Amino acid sequence: MFKLQAGDIVRLKKAHPCGSSDWEILRAGVDVRLKCRGCGRIILIAREKLRRSMRQITSVKDP
């Protein structure tokens, strides 16, 4: 299982309609709450679906 923390920035494979591919993690659990870094839209996505659609973690907070 991969580690996700609130405050991490992830890059997804597909871009959001606003053009941004970077998302900030607001809450990590079974479902993950993400905020688009381009337009500010907030979505809730299943952790497994996020794992499949994630390209990389671009910023990680120190534990």
Q: Which domain holds residue 35?
A: 9-59
Q: Which amino acid is at 19?
A: G
**52 part of a folded domain:** yes
34: number of Cβ within 10 Å: 22
Number of compact structural domains in the chain: 1
6 DSSP assignment = T
Per-residue model confidence as pLDDT tens digits over 3-53? 888 999 999 999 999 999 999 999 999 999 999 999 999 999 999 999 999
CA angle 1, 14, 26 (to 5 degrees): 55
| Distance, CA of 20 to CA of 32 (rounded, Å) | 18
Predicted model pTM: 0.84
Phi first, then psi, for residue 28 (nearest 5°) are: -120, 130
Per-residue model confidence as pLDDT tens digits over 1-10? 568 889 999 9
**19 part of a folded domain:** yes
**3 part of a folded domain:** no
